Chain A
Amino acid sequence: MNRELLKNILFYTIILALQLLIFNQFKLFGFITPFIYLIIFVHYKITYDKTILLILGFLIGLIIDLSMQTYGCHTFSTITICYLRGRIEKNSFGVNANLPSAMIKDTPLFSRISFFLSLIAIHSIIYYSLIFFNINLLSTIFLYAFINSIATFIIIWIISRLISNN
């Protein structure tokens, strides 16, 4: 258990460092910043406590907000996907929702893509809604959320493949 905990802490630290040091400086087309820290919530095992997941989401979101000066936009988006994660799992995996990991082998590819995309898209929509905070900019919010979700999804998918291969 302690070994697994250490492994997880190391994983979270590396992902956070990658986000803060590399991806936060990354501005594709001037606005695309992939939120690779979402991989932490994608790979959070379903057997772990959901309350811990919420608190973890809050802390990680707060760290990202402090580093990006977004005043709570990341935090709220993150705790929301942490809270909704159980329902998204059920929607994506159906009867196989009680699997120990989302990236487990033998789950249907479509279910995995649906799970990844749902988490990332919900996060992006909430994040950009809070960033713009203007109902008149709804089309801009969805455009940014869509492009950013695709970019984030591609990077997270690649990292997930690398992790599962190892």
Chain B
Amino acid sequence: MRDFWRLFSSFFKVALRREMAYRGTFLAGIIGQWISYGATFLGIYIMVSSFDILGGWNGSEVLMLYGLSVMSYAIGASFFYNFSNGLAGRIRSGEFDASLTKPIHPFLHEVFSAGYNVGYISHFTVSLVVMAAALSSTNYNLTVQSLMFLILSVLGASLIQASALIASSVMSFFTVGNNPIADFLLWDVKEFTNYPITVFPKGIQFVLTFILPFAFMNFYPAAALLGKAIPEGYPAILPYLSPLVGALVFALSILLWNWGLKNYKSTGS
């Protein structure tokens, strides 16, 4: 375990230095992300609040959904985005094969050497500000318990986001082209969860709960926190299961990755 931390911190320092080499670019990127994500938050708020209510949620409450989604993505992606996005390139160039010869597991070596992505600090800060504003505008009374629940749920949600990144990179073991599965999992499906899933048809609610469990990333924790209804007939315990679901899909995604690795044949370059 001590070796783990030593390795992690030395890789972390290298990543930080790499980003800070272009300080101006780094700052301009952060501000750009604020503007871009801020615009989406604003759009969601204008849309919902000009109708007062969407499926029982008001504008500020709906903002919690996208807030949780962006915050958990910031945490999950800061550890796994470089890894997930870079794997195909490293396999194509043959660099990946070096990971197979290292004295730690190839998965860990890939994650560490891909590096921590400092840039996600912009996603984290913008979502933190929006969620704080949303909760205070609904006069939400945040207790120690509900704060603990929120933090645990965000951690679970981050594991779900990380799993999506890990799972989508498995494709790279089999094809060298671009990876549409990543876009599908990370952008298209997740877009549903920007709004309460109860406004969508039953089939979509089922998929987002039991098959691609993105609803545990934001909808269920937010529903528990704000006292909103969950889909009819679903177990009342679901809103509290995010940390568990997160741990489960994270383990599954690593199993999937190892399965991909087992079936991987080097390009030999």
Chains A and B bind each other: no
Q: Which residues of A contact B (CB under 8 A)?
A: none
